């Protein structure tokens, strides 16, 4: 706060500060702006050194390095006992030590950036994590040196790194929203468990004395805890209808019991879980977004305070165009001058040359609106040989390629290709047809490149052009490699062939893009993609923890013998306890916790249907608690939050069209007659108009209206209708948004 | 419209019409009001005879009769070939004929009520249904007379009766909302199928040449259509992880294929389906409710037009208190005079004695607010023997029973009871303990009856009091019957014992009610109960149609042999094609389409997980289409709509507290000091205050604030925030709400 006041005085008193000081101010302001833009909430020291260090701290290179080391640290599980690829202990230990050193260095860097007192309040989790890791490594290393067996228990904490680093804000947010929903979920869960207990008691009384047997010949529904577990598994639908068959076979009347059970526990309770999770998620997210928006406005106000100048006595402080433009160049060096001027004209519609606080504060959001700048260049061939490129046949070719029929033709070719792929490739006619299709697809891309300006064709936003080209070129290379291998050694590599097949099939996806209505759905899915990544991290954290615990608990209980193995243990997964069980009979032996990859696959299977009979048989009935806990955590909580997120994202897509700010940018683009027609990069038409009377500007803009630079922008848009854009003065005074980093 | 104008003239011209004509007016107005109250949209003739007939048409007795006959008609499936209880053909045929006659009579009644031209436009579906039924009966009867086999195809249409009768409005609404969502669902479904086809093609290319085998020894993933179907079933999670195991066993890499498949098709696409269904459901429901509210206001305005009187030249037309009160008595004869006066004072807060149109229009909604009238009677024992009942020990007893500790004590007793139930009942100590618990529970009820006024204790809204008493008394009777049987014949009837056990366990549910937070959730569930009934009807219609078709297609393909049967066919369900299949091995033989009950149970199982290998094996691979269609209809569409409804209902519960109108009634109750304290019927306290200085009124009111008389009221409340209460003048002019009856 002090620093701010200093700044204020400085700027109003003397307008002619030297360049160096001005640079420092711009540094500080640009840090505030980019913090606001990316919703970073780090309370950094505002001394010049700390600001420079902070800018370095936020450098993408260092962040990528950090994530790479986290990845290395997490993937150590592949090489440690029980390993997929065993490495000696010293190797994994030293890599882990290196990782810890890197994380510590990052933490020290962080400590230099933020004030000392703030530091010791916040990142205690992280340093505790390191201390625990080092302690564990020490204990485990010495135990192993003494040839004792030990447990690497600190591995369970590894994924928490993803949560606790400064960049894990969204993940922390997801965890917070789960934590806030927990009391409500717990309430419904208790009721749900009560219902299962009541049904189990009823089942015990109804069936235990009837002497029924399951298909395995085991007594049916005689043990209360076994019944509770069986009925819980029925809720996950894993043992339906097997669990009901013995009772149903003995009398049709008993089906009523199971029908009521399924209705109450599967349909009603599961819907109620979704409702509770969804409701809490929405409520909590709204609050989070409100805080984020407040923090953002506060940061922008601080940036304004650094840059502001008073035009006269009693006049409102303003920021000049010159300073604003230098600020923007510093924050986003990649955007073009024209784009910058466009943004300025949105902020300063009356062309006063200065903007006030309210207009300045929009900047962070303006920078998040993705404006595609299209340089209206003529086609390179036109420069090279204008006479030929503009000749009549060439123009005819262009109009053919741009015709709707061209798209339909290629859709038909793709469909024909699909049929050929489905047919047997042993037939030489069919295997040779692949060359024909490859040539046709290549030709299509070349034709498009002939018509469209190459840099426009391969601009960052043309997802499908990139997709097409990469798939076709990769398929071409793979096919050539495959036939080269075949002709040189007579040997067909199964792996290469697999890749060829996958690429061929992927090419078919293109057909979706040419149908408008499908494209809309696909685009929504692509758009929520980045946000789904947050859930991916969430799932990774939970899976990793469960995999580590599961490996310690169940490692080696179930053995997998390769399909060629002749060992007699093969039929019962190497564990005599599994003899004649459904687990062994279904050949589930590879569903085990013997190494980390198998554990992850098994956990995925458990997410879909929770079937774990094999592990409770080989260890102890209490092992079921692990599976129960997994089901509650992943299916009841996380999957429901995921569904809630997808629902909310689709509702936003259906209801809100564009934000106000986007509209104002778009209006400005239209005003300035810089808009681009729907037909994305149509250089041919421009060619015509360049010859015509109306000279069009060489630079056009287009809003990538339905894409978001950041996930936060999407989430923010979900709730922005409820936020009052004017309440920012109030926020500035009660600056009570603490630094939420490290507050898991 | 003409009739309205006539009425207007009549009433303004001569105020002294004779009683008879006044009665007719009141009839007409009361019909309009009760139509508005229950959202009936029947455009009836307004001639006196038609009005009388229409009142008869809406009589609850006739409606119940109609539903009983529909039930009889539907349950004919139990007795027709293939029958659960076979009856001769002439018996079922004549019952069906009787049903059709009853339905026809109802239709003729309806034809008398509504104008001729409207009739021929609307109920053509229904009469077509009868013609088809009669035609089918004729054909089938003559075929059977000639000893030929025939198909009773009209049975498929039977459940449509539920939809097409005038009372099936909510069901039609549900079907309409499904129909409106269909185009959007279809779009996503096509994309989903495309995705499955792409994955299947990839699976064909990757796995078909590898020579893999399933656990059954069948070739794995070699036939394209088989792959498509297997992957579709994987989406229903029925064959997870079996379908993946052969590939996963051959190489871990292939798990990536299945992981991506599950992620895309199970999690993302299923969420998108829910989002699309939910969004369309919400949008459509909003529109429906808006139309309903418009129609309701229009009807109330017409009722007002019938009853209105002009107080002077140019003055607004009004309705007097006298007429209003006679109208209410006619519409709801069951409500008390005091309740009626309460409603009047809400409509006429300034006590002018007359109300205008706006106040009058509220009446329909006011009648839907459930106000509980509690007659503040002294306890009968107090009348009988006041000295004893008001003595010190009696008062002490009362305060003990009303103490929180009393509830906790009985919760503990219930828990102890639960433990005793779970223990083995062979032990004489434990089987005798049941008598102890029964006596304790009876004592509890008697004590409560001693303290609370019996009629208040058993009032209609005290769900849990009723529940307790019925369960305890029933358990007492069943236990006595059981021990009487045992002591007289030494023989224990399993059926009686089952009932005893179920009643004992049900008693335990009571414990939920004493925990406030659980009660809130349970109450929400009870409240959405009636609306869930609409979904129950929807499911019934769909199940019935699928069951009828399934019985024709698959009847007798799979045979069930009782557990005591020694027939060799038993191990393969009586069909050699099923030898050594998983279907027979799991003992699924009773999952068949051989009669209607088994079909319904099987369809429920298919709803949970879609496993149908047995039927495609015994008939033709194309039989899978039936199962696919069932999954799409029930799981993708109807279950999602159900989930959407539960979600919406819970969100309403979480957000909206009370409607404005309810608040105004409640305020009025408070104003008049007729409110009841939280403590429901506490005659003891009143006793005290009667002795004290402040005499309390003998009649108290309480709003059953969170219950709804009709399902529509709940749905309407879901969206009433979006409806403008004042836009009713506009509606009256453009009366374009057609009669939605029979418009499926």
* Chain A partners within 8 Å of B508 (Cβ): 198, 201
Residue A47 has pLDDT above 80, yes or no: yes
Mean pLDDT of B152-177: 84
What's the confidence (pLDDT) of residue A719?
A: 60
Which of A360, A345, A269, A263 minimizes the C-alpha distance to A309?
Answer: A360
C-alpha torsion angle, residues B344, B349, B350, B354 (rounded to 10): -30
Tokens at A492, concatenated: 């067909």
Kindly provide the ipTM of the predicted complex, given to two decimals. 0.84
Regarding whether A227 and A359 lie in a shared domain, the answer is: yes
Q: Tell me the helix, strand and coil percentages in chain B, rounded to 5.
A: 70, 5, 25
Residues 6 or more apart from A542 whose CB is under 8 A from it?
A633, A634, A638
Task: For residue range A711-721, list pLDDT tens digits in order.
Answer: 556 666 656 55
* Chain A partners within 8 Å of B206 (Cβ): 498, 501-502
In a domain, B663, yes or no: no
Regarding whether A352 and A216 lie in a shared domain, the answer is: yes
CB contact under 8 A, A198 and B509: yes
Whole-number Å distance between alpha carbons of B274 and B378 = 55
Residue A543 has pLDDT above 90, yes or no: yes
What's the confidence (pLDDT) of residue A125?
A: 62
Whole-number Å distance between alpha carbons of A216 and A231 = 18
CB contact under 8 A, A279 and B608: no
Regarding whether A743 and A643 lie in a shared domain, the answer is: no
Which of A523, A519, A419, A506 minimizes the C-alpha distance to A468?
Answer: A506
Total domains, chain B: 4
Q: Which of A116-130, A521-535, B72-86 has the lowest mean pLDDT?
A: A116-130
CB contact under 8 A, B609 and A525: no
Q: Tell me the helix, strand and coil percentages in chain A, rounded to 5.
A: 70, 5, 25
> Which residue is closest to B585 within chain A, CA to CA?
A215
pLDDT-based confidence at residue A732 (cuts at 50, 70, 90): very low
What's the confidence (pLDDT) of residue B501?
A: 83
Regarding whether A403 and A446 lie in a shared domain, the answer is: yes
In a domain, A646, yes or no: yes
* Chain A partners within 8 Å of B587 (Cβ): 215, 245-246, 249
Task: For residue range B488-543, list pLDDT tens digits in order.
Answer: 776 667 777 788 888 888 888 888 877 877 877 887 777 777 777 888 888 999 99
Regarding whether A574 and A618 lie in a shared domain, the answer is: yes
More confident residue, B684 or B285: B285
Regarding whether B129 and B275 lie in a shared domain, the answer is: no
- Supply the CATH number for residue A477's domain: 1.20.120
Report yes or no: B505 at the A interface, CB cutoff 8 Å: yes
Tokens at B670, concatenated: 């408070």
| 8 Å CB contact between A343 and A674 | no
Residue B694 has pLDDT above 60, yes or no: no
Domain boundary pick from A654, A669, A699: A654
CB contact under 8 A, B241 and A563: no
Where in the sequence is the domain holding A593, given as residue range(s)? 526-654
Mean pLDDT of B60-86: 89
Residue A708 has pLDDT above 60, yes or no: no
What's the confidence (pLDDT) of residue A542?
A: 93
Residue B426 has pLDDT above 60, yes or no: yes
Which of B173, B172, B176, B154 minimizes the C-alpha distance to B162?
Answer: B172
Residue A3 has pLDDT above 70, yes or no: no
pLDDT-based confidence at residue B558 (cuts at 50, 70, 90): confident
> Which residue is closest to A586 within chain B, CA to CA?
B215
In a domain, A516, yes or no: no
Residue A699 has pLDDT above 50, yes or no: yes
Task: For residue range A644-683, list pLDDT tens digits in order.
Answer: 888 887 777 766 555 556 666 667 666 665 554 433 333 3
Q: Which of A189, A275, A286, A589 to mutate to test the interface with B (most CBs of B within 10 A)?
A: A275
Domain boundary pick from A138, A158, A178: A158
Tokens at B611, concatenated: 């496993």
What's the confidence (pLDDT) of residue A375?
A: 63
Cα separations in angstroms, A570 against A12, A83, A145, A590, A594:
84, 21, 35, 11, 16
More confident residue, B679 or B241: B241
Regarding whether A332 and A226 lie in a shared domain, the answer is: yes
CB contact under 8 A, A276 and B650: yes
CB contact under 8 A, B249 and A560: yes
Mean pLDDT of B471-485: 87
> Which residue is closest to A249 within chain B, CA to CA?
B590
C-alpha torsion angle, residues B651, B653, B658, B660 (rounded to 10): 20
* Chain A partners within 8 Å of B585 (Cβ): 215
pLDDT-based confidence at residue B261 (cuts at 50, 70, 90): very high
Whole-number Å distance between alpha carbons of B659 and B293 = 15
In a domain, B367, yes or no: no
pLDDT-based confidence at residue A257 (cuts at 50, 70, 90): very high
Report yes or no: A242 at the B interface, CB cutoff 8 Å: yes
In a domain, B376, yes or no: no
CB contact under 8 A, A521 and B191: yes
pLDDT-based confidence at residue A72 (cuts at 50, 70, 90): very high
More confident residue, A601 or A115: A601
What's the confidence (pLDDT) of residue A711?
A: 52
Tokens at A364, concatenated: 């962070």
CB contact under 8 A, B249 and A647: no
Regarding whether B305 and B218 lie in a shared domain, the answer is: yes
Tokens at A591, concatenated: 């569903």
Tokens at B182, concatenated: 């269909």
What's the confidence (pLDDT) of residue B742?
A: 33
CB contact under 8 A, A601 and B252: yes
> Which residue is closest to B277 within chain A, CA to CA?
A647
Mean pLDDT of B53-73: 90
What's the confidence (pLDDT) of residue B546?
A: 93
More confident residue, B64 or A589: B64
Q: Which of A3-17, A178-192, B508-522, B617-631 has the lowest mean pLDDT?
A: A3-17
In a domain, B31, yes or no: no
What's the confidence (pLDDT) of residue B360?
A: 84
Closest approach of B314 to chain A, Cα-based (Å): 46
In a domain, B266, yes or no: yes
Regarding whether B561 and B596 lie in a shared domain, the answer is: yes
CB contact under 8 A, B422 and A643: no
- Supply the CATH number for residue B469's domain: 1.20.120.350
Whole-number Å distance between alpha carbons of A557 and A614 = 9
Percentage of chain B lying above the pLDDT 90 cut: 7
Whole-number Å distance between alpha carbons of A432 and A263 = 56
* Chain B partners within 8 Å of A589 (Cβ): 249
Residue A461 has pLDDT above 80, yes or no: no
What's the confidence (pLDDT) of residue B245?
A: 86
What are the two backbone dihedrals, phi and then psi, of residue A507, each rounded to the nearest 5 degrees?
-55, -30
CB contact under 8 A, A501 and B588: no
Q: Which of A226, A243, A248 to mutate to test the interface with B (most CBs of B within 10 A)?
A: A248
Regarding whether B396 and B270 lie in a shared domain, the answer is: no
What part of B 637-666 touches A (C-beta under 8 Å)?
639, 642-643, 646-647, 650-651, 654
Regarding whether A362 and A439 lie in a shared domain, the answer is: no
In B340-476, at which residue ranges do the beta strands (DSSP E only) sit?
A: 354-355, 371-375
What's the confidence (pLDDT) of residue B458?
A: 80
Residue A51 has pLDDT above 50, yes or no: yes
Residue-averaged pLDDT of chain A: 78
Mean pLDDT of B537-550: 92
In a domain, A217, yes or no: yes
Task: For residue range B708-736, list pLDDT tens digits in order.
Answer: 444 556 566 656 555 555 554 443 333 33
Which of A556, A560, A555 minimizes the C-alpha distance to A572?
Answer: A560
Q: Which of A314-318, A484-488, A651-655, B305-309 has the lowest mean pLDDT?
A: A651-655
Top mean-pLDDT range of A184-198, A524-538, B363-377? A184-198
What's the confidence (pLDDT) of residue A98?
A: 93
Nearest-CB residue to B201 (from A421, A518, A605):
A421
Report yes or no: B496 at the A interface, CB cutoff 8 Å: no
Regarding whether A715 and A644 lie in a shared domain, the answer is: no
Residue A729 has pLDDT above 50, yes or no: no
Whole-number Å distance between alpha carbons of B655 and B652 = 5
Residue-averaged pLDDT of chain B: 78
Task: For residue range A128-168, list pLDDT tens digits in order.
Answer: 888 888 888 888 888 888 888 778 888 888 888 888 887 88
* Chain A partners within 8 Å of B601 (Cβ): 248, 252, 255, 259
Domain boundary pick from A96, A126, A158: A158
């Amino acid at each position: 706060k002090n620093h701010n006041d200093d700044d204020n005085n400085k700027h109003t008193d003397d307008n002619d500060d030297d360049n160096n000081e001005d640079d420092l101010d711009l540094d500080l302001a640009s840090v505030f702006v980019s913090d606001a833009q990316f919703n970073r909430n780090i309370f950094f020291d505002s001394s010049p050194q700390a600001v420079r260090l902070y800018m370095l701290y936020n450098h993408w290179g260092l962040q990528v390095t950090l994530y790479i080391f986290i990845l290395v640290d997490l993937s150590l599980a592949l090489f440690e006992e029980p390993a997929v690829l065993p490495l000696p202990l010293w190797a994994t230990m030293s890599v882990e030590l290196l990782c810890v050193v890197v994380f510590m260095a990052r933490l020290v860097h962080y400590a230099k950036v933020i004030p000392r007192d703030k530091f010791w309040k916040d990142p205690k989790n992280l340093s505790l994590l390191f201390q625990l890791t080092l302690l564990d490594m020490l204990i485990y290393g010495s135990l192993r040196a003494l040839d004792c067996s030990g447990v690497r228990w600190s591995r369970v904490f590894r994924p928490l790194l993803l949560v606790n680093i400064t960049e894990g804000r969204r993940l922390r947010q997801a965890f917070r929203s789960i934590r806030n929903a927990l009391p409500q979920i717990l309430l419904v869960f208790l009721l749900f468990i009560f219902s299962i207990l009541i049904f189990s008691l009823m089942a015990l009384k109804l069936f235990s004395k009837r002497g029924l047997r399951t298909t395995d010949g085991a007594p049916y529904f005689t043990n209360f805890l076994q019944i509770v577990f069986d009925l819980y598994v029925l809720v996950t639908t894993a043992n339906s209808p097997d669990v009901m068959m013995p009772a149903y076979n003995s009398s049709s009347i008993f089906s009523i019991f199971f029908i009521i059970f399924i209705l109450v526990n599967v349909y009603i309770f599961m819907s109620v879980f979704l409702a509770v999770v969804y409701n809490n998620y929405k409520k909590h997210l709204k609050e989070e977004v409100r805080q984020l928006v407040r923090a953002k406005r506060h940061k922008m106000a601080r940036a304004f305070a650094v840059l502001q100048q008073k035009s006269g006595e009693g006049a409102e402080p303003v920021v000049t165009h010159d300073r604003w433009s230098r600020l923007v160049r510093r924050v986003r060096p990649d955007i073009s001058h024209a784009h910058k001027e466009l943004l300025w004209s949105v902020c300063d519609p009356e062309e006063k040359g200065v903007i006030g606080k309210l207009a300045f504060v929009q900047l962070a959001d303006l920078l998040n609106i993705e404006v595609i700048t299209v340089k209206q260049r003529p086609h390179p061939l036109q420069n090279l040989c204008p006479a030929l490129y503009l000749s009549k046949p060439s123009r005819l070719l262009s109009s053919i390629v741009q015709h709707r029929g061209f798209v339909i033709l290629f859709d038909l070719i793709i469909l024909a290709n699909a049929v050929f792929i489905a047919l047997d490739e042993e037939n030489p006619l069919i295997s040779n047809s692949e060359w024909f299709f490859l040539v046709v697809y290549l030709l299509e891309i070349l034709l498009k490149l002939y018509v469209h300006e190459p840099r426009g064709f391969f601009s960052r936003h043309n997802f499908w052009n990139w997709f097409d080209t990469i798939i076709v070129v990769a398929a071409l290379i793979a096919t050539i490699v495959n036939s080269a291998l075949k002709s040189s050694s007579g040997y067909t590599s199964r792996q290469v062939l697999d890749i060829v097949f996958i690429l061929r099939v992927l090419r078919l996806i293109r057909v979706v893009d040419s149908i408008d209505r499908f494209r809309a759905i696909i685009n929504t899915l692509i758009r929520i993609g980045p946000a789904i990544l947050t859930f991916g991290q969430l799932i990774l954290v939970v899976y990793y923890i469960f995999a580590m615990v599961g490996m310690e608990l169940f490692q080696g209980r179930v053995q997998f013998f390769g399909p060629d193995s002749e060992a007699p243990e093969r039929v019962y997964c190497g564990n005599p306890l599994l003899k004649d069980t459904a687990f062994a009979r279904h050949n589930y032996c590879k569903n085990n916790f013997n190494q980390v990859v198998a554990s992850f696959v098994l956990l995925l299977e458990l997410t879909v249907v929770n079937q774990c009979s094999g592990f409770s048989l080989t260890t102890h009935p209490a092992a079921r608690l692990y599976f129960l806990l997994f089901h509650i955590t992943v299916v009841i909580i996380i999957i429901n939050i995921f569904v809630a997120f997808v629902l909310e994202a689709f509702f936003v897509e259906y209801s809100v069209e564009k934000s106000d700010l986007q509209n104002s940018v778009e209006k400005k683009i239209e005003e300035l007659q810089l808009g681009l027609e729907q037909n994305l990069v149509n250089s041919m038409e421009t060619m015509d108009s360049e010859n015509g009377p109306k000279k069009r500007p060489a630079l056009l803009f287009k809003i990538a209206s339905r894409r978001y630079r950041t996930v936060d922008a999407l989430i923010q848009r979900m709730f922005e209708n409820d936020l009052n854009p004017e309440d920012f003065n109030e926020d500035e005074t009660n600056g009570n948004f603490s630094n939420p980093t490290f507050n898991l």
